[in-house]
């Protein structure tokens, strides 16, 4: 081979490598920033404002790194390629997600329950329930913190995978709350773990799991206790691809979403700011990426639901999205349901409770979502 040609090859390789690196970085910076990822169903980081103070304390560098990560050109394709390579070399996990049995993608939630935030959230919920137990009585306050799939679907995890730590956190939470306020959903789900309780591609529990927990909760609270035979189980889509699948950027089996439609229809009216509707399910959401939004239309700061129950019972549900498929089961037991998502609401909670004179309170979250939720401070903010 010509010596000059031989020397030229390494230089060409280096030049191509540099063009790839710097060209990709330049394209990322030049392209318009995306605000929302429909694939991941979340808001993306935006270019941070350059401020001297932020540069000095390191916040600017951290925020800019997050911005580049979220706005990286062809980001979804690169993520999918990385995951495909990892699966090709038989890795059992990627991005803190297990490639589990029976095509499940199960989040590990590593370290989520050991943070100062998780401890503060536990303390905030304890103080909140102590206050309102004195006002309403323990039989009218319930805390349902639903364990995540990693703590229930242990038989699906890869060999030698350590169990999740969510159950330990829930035990601490139970001890911190007033007696009879914590409802143990874990043992209900354990009894049905051979059934499909969680989506394979998404972090939510399925409607069937919500039914089993509602059934047991209703029995404990003296409400009408439904049976599966009281509902028509209607599959409204078999093409649901959830947020866990989106994080990995791969195509896998698709999930089915079921609605449980009561034998006797329960009329209700949903009031949302200036919008009023008479359907608890938003079927239009099934045409989009976030098909789980068929339940209540997704996450809203505040919803008021009125029913024909006529029993004077009025409940405030403080929740995350796990509650969205649980709430339809509650319609026959309460004349009015107020649905509050602290993550998006600016309402003063103590003032709301004082004004509305609720007869019941329900706090319903998934375990990792509760531990990581920075809005839990609103539970005790401006307490009276």
Average pLDDT, integer, range 80-94: 58
- Helical ranges in the chain per DSSP H: 3-30, 52-57, 59-71, 75-88, 116-136, 149-152, 166-176, 185-190, 207-220, 243-248, 349-356, 367-372
Residues 293-342 have pLDDT tens digits of: 999 999 999 999 999 999 999 999 999 999 999 999 999 999 999 999 99
CB within 8 Å of 10: residues ≥ 6 apart:
none
**Ramachandran region of residue 74, left (φ > 0), alpha (ψ -120 to 50) or beta?**
left
Task: Judge whether residue 370 has pLDDT over 60.
Answer: yes
Decide which of 37 and 54 is more confident: 54
pLDDT of the residue at 89: 46
Contact between residue 210 and residue 263 where contact means Cβ atoms under 8 Å apart: no
Lowest-confidence pick of 150-164, 232-246, 370-384 = 370-384
Helix (H) or strand (E) holding 338: strand 336-340
pTM to 2 decimal places:
0.80
Distance CA 306, CA 314 (A): 9
Decide which of 152 and 49 is more confident: 152
Average pLDDT, integer, range 2-7: 56
Q: If 0-12 CB within 10 Å is exposed, 13-18 middle and 19+ buried, where does residue 98 land?
A: buried
Residues 114-172 have pLDDT tens digits of: 999 999 999 999 999 999 999 999 999 999 999 999 999 999 999 989 888 999 999 99
Contact between residue 156 and residue 104 where contact means Cβ atoms under 8 Å apart: yes
Residue-averaged pLDDT of the chain? 86
- Helical ranges in 39-182 per DSSP H: 52-57, 59-71, 75-88, 116-136, 149-152, 166-176
Task: Judge whether residue 204 has pLDDT over 50.
Answer: yes
Per-range mean pLDDT, top range of 33-47, 59-73, 212-226: 212-226
Lowest-confidence pick of 47-51, 96-100, 146-150 = 47-51
């Amino acid at each position: 081979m010509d010596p000059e040609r031989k020397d030229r090859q390494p230089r060409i390789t280096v030049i191509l490598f540099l063009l790839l690196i710097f060209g990709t970085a330049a394209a990322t910076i030049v392209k318009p920033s995306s605000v929302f990822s429909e694939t991941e169903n979340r808001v993306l980081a935006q270019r941070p404002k350059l401020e001297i103070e932020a540069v000095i304390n390191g916040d600017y560098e951290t925020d800019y790194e997050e911005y580049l990560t979220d706005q990286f050109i062809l980001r979804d394709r690169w993520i999918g390629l990385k995951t495909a390579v990892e699966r090709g070399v038989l890795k059992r996990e990627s991005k803190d997600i297990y490639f589990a049995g029976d095509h499940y993608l199960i989040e590990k939630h590593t370290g989520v329950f050991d943070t100062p935030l998780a401890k503060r959230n536990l303390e905030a919920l304890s103080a909140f329930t102590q206050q309102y137990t004195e006002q309403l009585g323990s039989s009218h306050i319930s805390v349902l913190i639903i364990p995540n799939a990693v703590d229930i679907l242990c038989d699906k995890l890869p060999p030698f995978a350590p169990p999740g730590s969510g159950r330990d956190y829930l035990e601490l939470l139970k001890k911190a709350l007033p007696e009879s306020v914590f409802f143990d959903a874990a043992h209900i789900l354990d009894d049905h773990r051979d059934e499909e309780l969680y989506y394979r591609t998404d972090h939510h529990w399925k409607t069937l799991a919500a039914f089993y927990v509602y059934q047991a909760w209703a029995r404990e609270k003296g409400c009408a206790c439904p049976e599966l035979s009281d509902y028509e189980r209607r599959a409204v889509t078999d093409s649901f691809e959830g947020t866990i699948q989106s994080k990995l950027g791969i195509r896998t089996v698709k999930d089915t979403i079921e609605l449980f439609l009561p034998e006797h229809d329960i009329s209700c009216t949903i009031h949302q700011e200036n919008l009023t509707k008479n359907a608890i399910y938003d079927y239009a959401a099934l045409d989009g990426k976030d098909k789980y939004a068929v339940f209540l239309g997704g996450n809203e700061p505040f919803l008021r639901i009125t029913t024909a129950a006529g029993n004077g019972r009025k409940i405030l549900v403080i929740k995350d999205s796990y509650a969205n498929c649980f709430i339809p089961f509650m319609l026959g037991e309460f004349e009015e349901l107020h649905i509050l998502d602290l993550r998006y609401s600016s309402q003063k909670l103590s003032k709301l409770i004082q004004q509305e004179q609720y007869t019941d309170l329900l706090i319903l979250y998934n375990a990792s979502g509760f531990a990581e939720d920075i809005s839990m401070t609103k539970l005790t903010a401006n307490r009276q």
